[in-house]
Structure 1
Amino acid sequence: MTEPSKATTAGDKRSLKRAFVASLSGTTLEYYDFAAYSVASATILGKLFFPSSDELASTMLAFSTYAVGYVSRPLGGFLFGRLGDILGRKQVLVATLLLTGIATCLIGVLPTHSAVGGFAPVLLVVLRFAQGVGVGGEWGGAVLLSSEFGDPKKRGFWASAAQIGPPAGTLLANGVLTLLAVVLTTAQFESWGWRLAFLLSGVLVIFGLWLRLKLEETPVFREIVKRDEKPKAPVGEVLRQEPRALITGILVRICPDVLYSMFTVFVLTYMTKQLHLPKSQGTIAVMIGSGFQLFLMPAFGALSDRISRRTMYLAGTILAAAWPFLFFPLAATKSFFAIIVGVVVALAIHALLYGPQAALITEQFSPRLRYTGSSLAYTLAGVVGGAVAPLIFTALLAEYGTWTVVAAYLAFTGVLTLVGVLLARKPYTAAEEAALIGAAARA
């Protein structure tokens, strides 16, 4: 088996830059959509779609719909992941972008409970489900889009393009919703202002679509096609041939997912409902932390190309498990500065994990099964991690009335992720990847 050409291993620089921007813009859109819903769930959607005399119950119902977006992700990972390994990365990423963007725009025009009764939350759940399917198929392809054009020795940096999407989307969504809340009266914001945040995603869809349609297919997938070694049943092959890689990919995602949910979603509810602080303080803290992540994600991704990704992940997981035990006492002081510091540090720890995560997960799988394997790992971890985290946090707080059980839950997920890190294998070299394309097909 000959080694792939220089173009295959390093990629054309112009195409690589385009792929980086296309990966970044697409995941930014999809996480803008998710973040807009997350912030709205903690502040307004419960009242509009799940009215109840019990404000905490109303918020939990809104978070339940938030979880639907995670639960539906495995369907997207299963459907679009296998198509990405059979049809190619580019075509599938255009479809996922359109699906998520259209669903989000439609949320912006939904009638509320006061207008159509129980039909309103049903429609919201359907659109939230569609969002999750799109995101479930997006991540694996977005990571491969940038990393497969680049040098495998720099995969940590190039794959981080998709990882910048969550903080960029969170920053944009929080910024838009905060601006709307400031310039509009409370009545205007609750009546129609919140809708603008969802409708604005249409602009991002057009830009992302323009970028992705101009891209070529990745060199790695072109090589697989050239050798006529595309998998016929990629999901089955992943389950039969690479179960360790799948388990590793799932476990290493759980703690970072839960950490992110705690400090971008639950923290808003905790501050307003428990500490009785203005909701603007929470959103400002999240925005500042997300701003730092825009630079920390690629920096930590690049650092993981120089030192062991496993070592970085071990350190980050331990910090993630420990930090809530310091954050909540800080937050109890009700000092705005202390809260900002607490959230910024938490999101910096998340960046330490999330920056190298894309490369760590994708390099567990052989090249011809990467889209499917990465997508399944990403989406299945989301179900047991980020999907239920806000619900579990809220339920634990309601039951025990103390933050310690919330922090203990995050520490428990840290143990699971540590197991995944210990299971992770070293990355394949360029020559090994070339051999694996053919070897996996013959297995």
Structure 2
Amino acid sequence: MENQQLSKKTATKALVASLIGSSIEWYDYFLYGTLAALVFSKLFFPTTDPVVGLMLAYASFAIPFFIRPLGGVIFSHIGDKIGRKKTLVLTLSLMGTATVLIGLLPSYESIGIWAPVLLISLRLVQGLGIGGEWGGALLLAVEYAPKERRGFFGSIPQTGVTIGMLLGTLSISLLTGISEEKFLAWGWRIPFILSAVLVFIGLWIRNGIDETPAFQEAKNKGNIAKVPIVDTLKYHWKSVLIAVGAKVVETAPFYIFSTFIISYATGNLGFKNTAVLNAVTIATLVTTIAIPFMGALSDKVGRKPLYIGGTVAIMLFAFPYFYLLQLGSTLWLTIATIIGLGLLWAPVTAVLGTMFSEIFSTNVRYTGVTLGYQLGAALAGGTAPLIATTLLNIYNNSWVPVAIYIIFTGIISLIAIFSVRETKNVDYDKENSTSPKTITG
């Protein structure tokens, strides 16, 4: 009984460490996404054409997504060779340092072209850090989880994504109360610099966690891949492709509902910054509450039913979403954002990480889940606001092509998910003694 209580206590501690670290990482990352339209297009990419400045700011937002797979390969190699814990300490340190330095950067007016160069360089460092963070945070949770609760445990790091976004959006919303002149001069820097405090707390918590049981068992059995990326691509290439495809609908609509909406609603529809930020904040709070419930539900009904249901719902909501925005009402803006970001996206993201972890064996799991996740994010995540803005510009501010784009991402992911068998009954203990196999059907 004592060992059982100790095990439960350790699992809970690991879950908290996974959540807090993930929240801090994504807080750092989403600060930039939120401020791309409000600040960076003006201070770091000034041009005579506001649309060009906005597109350059979104391009700088997209660039790190393409470096994330490289960060994923580097840190997942360390994670599958040395362990999950040490890797997570490295990624958090890297991400936190880059974020604080962004808050200290001088503007284009002060140092000219070096301002955007340094900004993009630090964004690349952020991309390296976040590339290795997600997979480690996920595995810290699911590899400590009881088999019958893996769906719930695996959903908790996903709430770190929304909690981080919630903290970032909320901190900026509070600062928009000051004048625009002061906000552009120094106000936007405060959330970046304060992240140093959060990073210190996250490092303190993660340093107190032991290595995950699944990795320790694999290490004891000598089941450690010599070159994890080689084994992943040799034995699990189908799973990597499935993960990439499944990630598309989880990431592209998310950045439409949370990032693109800020510039679109303020620039094209005449909404105030505060109204849009508040709508995103409320919707993010709703989805933060919904995700753990969806994760727990997946332990009962399976991962695939929730994922497919959420994907189809997002596709069906694409046109109604933009129709509600056109009504010009803050209430309908908030309702539309709550439905899209708060409710329909929740079941997809809640099961995504757990499902990924269950289609890769322990000795390449960090590499497999990270590679699939980050490649999918690079292809469909960071590019989503840029693609949406480009479509608006090409089609004379018509939102119809953007809605079709959302539907298209759903089709890609449905094709991918139909290639996977239900995974909730996968046994990590048994797989450690067998050859790695892709779980498809």
Please classify the TM superposition score into its range, dividing by the shorter chain length: over 0.9
Cross-structure match for 1:425: 421
Cross-structure match for 1:359: 354
User: CA separation of 1:11/1:421 partners in 2, compared to 1, >3 Å: closer, same or farther?
Assistant: farther
Does structure 2 retain, via aligned residues, the 8 Å contact 1:100–1:131? yes
Higher alpha-carbon deviation: 244-253 or 403-412 = 244-253
Secondary structure of the residue aligned to 2:204 is: helix
Cross-structure match for 2:202: 208
User: Where does structure 1 lack aligned partners over 5 or more consecutive residues?
Assistant: 1-5
Matches within 5 A, 1:190-209: 190-209=184-203
Cross-structure match for 2:175: 180
Matches within 5 A, 1:220-369: 220-347=214-341, 348-369=343-364
Matching of residue 117 in structure 1 with residue 116 in structure 2: no
Secondary structure of the residue aligned to 2:141 is: helix
Distance in 2 between residues matched to 1:227 and 1:25, nearest whole Å: 31
Q: Please give the per-residue CA displacement for 1:26-46, whole angstroms capped at 9, x wherever unaligned.
A: 111111111110111011111
Does structure 2 retain, via aligned residues, the 8 Å contact 1:300–1:351? yes
Q: Please give the per-residue CA displacement for 1:173-212, whole angstroms capped at 9, x wherever unaligned.
A: 1111111111x22111100110001111111101100100
Q: Please give the per-residue CA displacement for 1:241-272, whole angstroms capped at 9, x wherever unaligned.
A: 01121111111110110011001100011101
Distance in 2 between residues matched to 1:150 and 1:120, nearest whole Å: 45
Matches within 5 A, 1:10-25: 12-25=7-20
Amino-acid identity (%): 35
Distance in 2 between residues matched to 1:15 and 1:425, nearest whole Å: 31
Give the total of aligned pairs.
Answer: 435
Distance in 2 between residues matched to 1:362 and 1:101, nearest whole Å: 26
Amino acid at match of 2:298: S
Amino acid at match of 2:314: A
Cross-structure match for 1:103: 98
Does structure 1 retain, via aligned residues, the 8 Å contact 2:24–2:195? yes
Secondary structure of the residue aligned to 2:328 is: coil
Matching of residue 171 in structure 1 with residue 163 in structure 2: no
Matching of residue 80 in structure 1 with residue 38 in structure 2: no
Note the C-alpha offset of 1:350: 1.0
Distance in 2 between residues matched to 1:49 and 1:57, nearest whole Å: 12
Matching of residue 385 in structure 1 with residue 380 in structure 2: yes
TM-score where L is the length of structure 1? 0.95
TM-score where L is the length of structure 2? 0.96
Distance in 1 between residues matched to 2:99 and 2:64, nearest whole Å: 12
Distance in 1 between residues matched to 2:255 and 2:62, nearest whole Å: 11
Does structure 1 retain, via aligned residues, the 8 Å contact 2:65–2:382? yes
Does structure 2 retain, via aligned residues, the 8 Å contact 1:33–1:169? yes
Does structure 2 retain, via aligned residues, the 8 Å contact 1:85–1:371? yes
Note the C-alpha offset of 1:435: 3.1
Matching of residue 156 in structure 1 with residue 155 in structure 2: no
Distance in 1 between residues matched to 2:298 and 2:437, nearest whole Å: 32
Note the C-alpha offset of 1:69: 1.9
Does structure 2 retain, via aligned residues, the 8 Å contact 1:364–1:425? no
Distance in 1 between residues matched to 2:83 and 2:188, nearest whole Å: 37
Note the C-alpha offset of 1:428: 6.5
Distance in 2 between residues matched to 1:280 and 1:242, nearest whole Å: 46
Note the C-alpha offset of 1:11: 8.2
Note the C-alpha offset of 1:425: 2.6
Residue 42 of structure 1, aligned match among 37, 43, 50: 37
Secondary structure of the residue aligned to 1:322 is: helix
Distance in 2 between residues matched to 1:442 and 1:135, nearest whole Å: 27
User: CA separation of 1:29/1:87 partners in 2, compared to 1, >3 Å: closer, same or farther?
Assistant: same
User: Where does structure 2 lack aligned partners over 5 or more consecutive residues?
Assistant: none
Cross-structure match for 2:86: 91
Q: Please give the per-residue CA displacement for 1:256-306, whole angstroms capped at 9, x wherever unaligned.
A: 100110011000111011101111111000000011111111110111110
Does structure 2 retain, via aligned residues, the 8 Å contact 1:230–1:441? no
Higher alpha-carbon deviation: 243-252 or 104-113 = 243-252
Note the C-alpha offset of 1:218: 0.5
